[in-house]
Every structure is written in C-alpha cells, then in structure tokens.
Amino acid sequence: MKQFSGRTAVITGAASGIGLELARRAAAEGMNLVLADIEYARLEESAATLGLPAERLLLQRTDVSREAEIAALAEAAFARFGGVHLLCNNAGVGLTRVTWEHSTADWEWVLGVNLWSVIHGIQHFLPKMLEQGDEGHIVNTSSVAGLLSTPGMAAYNVSKHGVVTLSETLYGELLAAKAKVGVSVLCPAWVPTGIHQSSRNRQDRFGSAAPAAGLSAAYEERMGQAVKSGRLTAADMASEVFAAVGEGRFYVIPHRKINNAIQLRTDDIMNLRNPTPLA
C-alpha cells in the first residue's frame, strides 16, 4: 500500500502501547482514524494527544473478543468514512503461568482477545475492503511468541502462533486472488508497554486468574522485567509497520537478535532434535 494520506485506518487496542503509536503514525501520515479499545476513558485521553480534528476521528469502545462488537466496529468505520484501507488487528493480552495452571477461563480469555479478534477482524472487514477495489492492507500483531515457544506463556504462545499461521495462509490466498489488499504480521520481542498489566482488562465473564506461585510466579516476575527493559519502543514498532506496509513486506520482526532463536528452533525441527530450552 503506497498511499496513506486521506485514507482510513482502523486500529484495535489503540488506547495504549503499540496501538497508540500506530495511531500516532497513521495520524501523522494524514489518515482518518477509527480507534477501538475496551478501555474507553483511556482511549479518549490517548486520542486527545493525537491532535486530530473531529472529522478525521472515530472512537469506539470495543471488546475485540466479541464478534458482534467487531462487526459493529466494521459497520461504524465504513459508514463514517466510506472505506477502510489499513486494518491493524492489534489488541492483545498476556498471561504468565505454567501450562498446567492455565484454567479454561484463562485459555478462553487469551485466545478470545489475541486470536478470535483477528479471525473476526478478517471476517468482518476484509470482504468489504476487497469489494471497495482500492489498495489496502491488514496488519496482524503477533509476537516472537508466534515463532518460538517461551515457557510460562502457553495460551499466549498458542494465540500468537495462531496469528502467524492465519496471516501466512491469508497472504498466500490474497496473492492467488491477485487482490489489491495485502497482509503483514508484526512479531515484536519485548517492548515497554502495559502488556504485563493485562489483567486490568480481563472481562468479568472470565473471572480472575488464580494467584501465581512457585514457577508461575517466577515466570511472571521475569516477563514483567523483560517487558520493562525492552530497548525498542512502541514508536519503533509503528515505524517498522509503516515501512513494511509501504514495501508490501509480510514479516515485520523488529528485534533482529531473535533470529538466532528462530534459527535454533528451525534446526531442532530439521534435525529431529528435542527443543533447545529458551533462556
């Protein structure tokens, strides 16, 4: 996708972190913005920092794990701006526990927000984006957790691997269909955002996670520290995304140091070797 100015971007999870920086960059590119988040008060505060005139902005409280709310977001976006050109399926949550301490509600929450949201985003936006006949692009936020299997994050890893394979599948299909809409997958490592405090947004219907103890507590502590010490920023992620969309590049993997771990996993598979533990 070459032209951003005057076109419309829809960004989920836009109240904070990477989503907010995607919004800031899209605003700077001259796009109209449809910003969605479950934390509406914070979304309003964050959107105010973008300095956009009201006619270029639509805010919608959206729980991305609910299909009806994604459908309503799509309807509102197309009704307000007449088209959608860039869709960033970005909202996400993290949970750190050993696999055997994930409850069914833990799995449903993480898969609902991180994976079903992307599935529903594609279902409700893409057919209309294809119909409108303009160039367009979908960016799905996965993670290096979609390329590796870090211990202590089973539901998160499963959700993010799901986003990678969903995006790869879609890429091949859009190519075969000679579509004017492209797709990229964003796979960051640690970025200092609010992701380690995801439980703030856990909907009542999922209850709360059992307190972490033992190994789960150690993984939780390590994940919090890793997020806070991330060297690349959310703004760096937005720059990488916009460069990739402009070039039509699929994989957006800003932390290149992670290549060694991806290579090691690939070598383990190719050599039928047991998985090398990740540090």
Ligand X SMILES: NC(=O)c1ccc[n+]([C@@H]2O[C@H](COP(=O)([O-])OP(=O)(O)OC[C@H]3O[C@@H](n4cnc5c(N)ncnc54)[C@H](O)[C@@H]3O)[C@@H](O)[C@H]2O)c1
Which residue ranges make up the site for ligand X (CB under 6 A)? 12-13, 15-19, 37-39, 62-65, 90-93, 113, 141, 143, 188, 190-191, 193-195, 198, 201, 227, 230, 234
Shortest CB 89 distance to ligand X, Å:
8
Shortest CB 256 distance to ligand X, Å:
15
List the Cα angle 85/242/133 in 5-degree steps: 20
Tokens (6 digits) for 101: 């301490």
Q: Which member of 156, 171, 219, 251 is catalytic?
A: 156
Nearest CB to ligand X, comparing residues 50 and 179 = 50
Nearest CB to ligand X, comparing residues 130 and 208 = 208
Q: Is the dihedral of CA 235, 238, 240, 242 positive or negative?
A: negative
Nearest CB to ligand X, comparing residues 65 and 167 = 65
Say which residues have a Cβ less than 8 Å from residue 53's Cβ, sequence separation at least 6.
Answer: none
Say which residues have a Cβ less than 8 Å from residue 146's Cβ, sequence separation at least 6.
Answer: 157, 160, 161, 162, 163, 164, 185, 187
Shortest CB 144 distance to ligand X, Å:
7
What 3-state DSSP class applies to 113? Answer: helix
Tokens (6 digits) for 67: 């299909």
Task: Please give the backbone phi and psi of residue 90, each rounded to the nearest 5 degrees, phi first.
Answer: -115, -25
What 3-state DSSP class applies to 182? Answer: strand
Nearest CB to ligand X, comparing residues 133 and 241 = 241
Shortest CB 260 distance to ligand X, Å:
18
d(CA 83, CA 128): 8
Nearest CB to ligand X, comparing residues 111 and 267 = 111
CA distance readout (Å), 220 to 148, 211, 215, 223: 18, 11, 9, 5
Decide if 156 is catalytic. Answer: yes
Shortest CB 163 distance to ligand X, Å:
8
Pick from 110, 81, 114: nearest CA to 13: 114
DSSP code for 11? E
Catalytic positions, please? 156
